[in-house]
Amino acid sequence: MTMADSNPLGDKDFVETLIPQKKPFVMVDTLYFYSENELVAGFTIHNDAVFLKDNSFVESGIIEHMAQSVALHTGYQFYLRNEQAPTGYIGSINKLQIKGLPKLHDEIRTTVSIIQEFGGVTLVDIVSKLNNVEIANGQMKTVLAK
């Protein structure tokens, strides 16, 4: 059993309080694991998903899910300190590979691994999986608003 298979730390309603995005633009709904350097988030694709086309969750949806997983890490970090999380922005996306598209009712699980964090700028590795098979990966740099 891996850390991401355990009971979730947070459900959809709780997760939505930790990220700046609001319905219908929420692309994370479960927090499975959190540590200072890593997070595992989930998203189950429902028929009202913004990026659902012909029963497939398209590339831009996967990228947004990845970005919101990073935002969830920051939001939970601030939640644990009883502080309001600042808004963050994507600074850059590098080495992005999308190898497969999930379908309606599939759950994507994404692991965010912090590579470096300094002065409000965070560099992360991101891997998204469907049924334990990698469907996307890349690096993202995010910047917190001052």
End-to-end Cα, the chain, rounded Å: 40
**pLDDT of 69-88, one tens digit each?**
999 999 999 999 999 888 88
φ, ψ of residue 39 to 5 degrees: the values are: -150, 145
Domain ranges of the chain: 3-144
| Overall fold of domain 3-144 | Thiol Ester Dehydrase; Chain A (3.10.129)
Question: pLDDT at position 32, please?
Answer: 96
Question: pLDDT at position 2, please?
Answer: 44
The DSSP H or E segment spanning 78 is: helix 59-80
Question: pLDDT at position 38, please?
Answer: 97
Rounded CA-CA distance 104/25 in Å is: 16
Confidence of residue 8 (pLDDT cuts 50, 70, 90): confident
**pLDDT of 98-124, one tens digit each?**
999 999 999 999 999 999 999 889 999
For the cut 80, the answer to whether the pLDDT of residue 1 exceeds it is no
